A and B are shown apart, each in its own frame.
Chain A
Amino acid sequence: MTTNVFHDWSGIALTHHISIDLAKYPHIALSVTHFIFSLFLVKDPSRRCVTSFVKALIQCWQQHGEDTSRNQSELEHQSEEDVDSYVAVETEPKDNPMDDDGNNDDRRSLDDRLFYIITFVFISLSFILAMIVDDLGIVLALVGSTGSTLVSYVLPGLIYIKVAQQKDAALVMAYVQLCLGLVLMPLALYFVLTKAAHH
Chain B
Amino acid sequence: MAGGGLFIRRSQGVKQPEIEYGSIEFTGDSTSPSVSSNDDDDDADLTDVKSRKMSTISSGVVNLANTIVGAGMLGLPGAFGGTGWLSGIILIVVSAIFSAHGLVLLSKSAIITGKPASFYSVAHASVPRYTMLIDAAVAVKCFGVATGYLITISDSMVNALHHMLMSGDSEREQTFIISLLLSRHFWVCGATLSVLPLSFYRTLDELKKASALALVFVFMLVGMILAYANGLADPCSGFNNDDNSEHETCKGDMEPYTNFSSTISKLPIFVFAFTCHQNIFPIVNELELLSQKRLNIVISCSIGFALVIFSTVAIEGYRTYGSNVRGDILLNYPENRQVTFLRICIGGMLLLHYPLQLGKCF
Show the binding face of A for B, using Cβ within 8 Å: 12-13, 16, 18, 21-22, 25, 28-29, 32-33, 36-37, 40, 42-44, 49, 53, 56-57, 60-61, 64, 66-68, 70-71, 73-75, 77-78, 80-81, 115-116, 118-119, 122-123, 125-127, 129-131, 133-160, 162-165, 170, 173-174, 177, 180, 184, 187-188, 191-192, 194-195
| Contact among A68, A81, A123, A125 with B136 in the assembled complex (CB-CB below 8 Å) | A81
Interface residues in B90-130 by Cβ distance below 8 A to A read 98-99, 101-103, 105-106, 108-109, 112-113, 116, 118-123, 125-127, 130
Find residues 253-282 in chain B having any chain A CB closer than 8 Å to their own CB. 261-262, 264-275, 277-278
Q: In whole angstroms, how far apart are the Cα atoms of A148 and B210 in the complex?
A: 26
A172 to chain B, nearest CB (A): 12
Which chain A residue lies CB-closest to B150?
A130
If A141-B269, A151-B137 touch, whether A18 touches B202 (CB-CB below 8 Å) is no
Instruction: Report chain B residues within 8 Å CB of A119.
Output: 199-200, 358, 362
- A59 → chain B, closest Cβ, in Å? 11
Minimum CB distance partner of A125 in chain B: B143
> Is there a chain A Cβ closer than 8 Å to B189's Cβ?
yes
| Closest A-B pairs by Cβ, 7 of them | A143-B144, A144-B268, A137-B327, A147-B140, A144-B272, A150-B137, A147-B141
Residues of A near B278 (CB, < 8 A) are 151
Question: What's the Cα separation between A173 and B269 when bound, in Å?
Answer: 23
Asked whether A80 lies within 8 Å of B132 as measured between CB atoms, the reply is yes
Q: B206 contacts the other chain (Cβ, under 8 Å)?
A: yes
27 A-B pairs with CB atoms under 8 Å apart are: A21-B189, A33-B194, A60-B202, A67-B202, A70-B116, A75-B362, A123-B196, A123-B199, A130-B147, A134-B184, A136-B71, A136-B74, A136-B327, A140-B71, A140-B75, A142-B268, A145-B267, A147-B137, A148-B144, A152-B102, A152-B275, A156-B109, A157-B102, A159-B122, A184-B267, A188-B271, A192-B268
Interface residues of B (CB under 8 A from A): 1, 4, 49-50, 71-72, 74-75, 78-79, 98-99, 101-103, 105-106, 108-109, 112-113, 116, 118-123, 125-127, 130-148, 150-152, 154-155, 180, 184-186, 188-190, 192-203, 206-207, 210, 261-262, 264-275, 277-278, 326-328, 351-352, 358, 361-362
CA–CA, A177 to B138, complex, Å?
18
Select B195's contact among A123, A137, A163, beta carbons within 8 Å: A123
Contacts of B102 in A (CB 8 A): 152-153, 156-157, 177
Identity of the chain B residue whose Cβ is nearest the Cβ of A185 in the assembled complex: B268
- Compute how far the CA of A78 lies from the CA of B33 in the bound complex, rounded to whole angstroms: 37
A75 to B301, CA, bound (A): 32
Closest A residue, CB atoms, query B143: A126
Q: How far apart are the CA atoms of A149 and B146 in the complex, in Å?
A: 17
Residue of A nearest to B102 (CB): A156
Q: Is A160 within 8 A of B154, CB to CB?
A: no
Whether A126 pairs with B132 at a CB distance below 8 angstroms is: no
Q: How far is the CB of A30 from chain B (nearest CB, A)?
A: 8
Give A77 to B362 CA distance when docked, in angstroms. 10
Cβ-defined contact, B352 with A40, below 8 A: yes
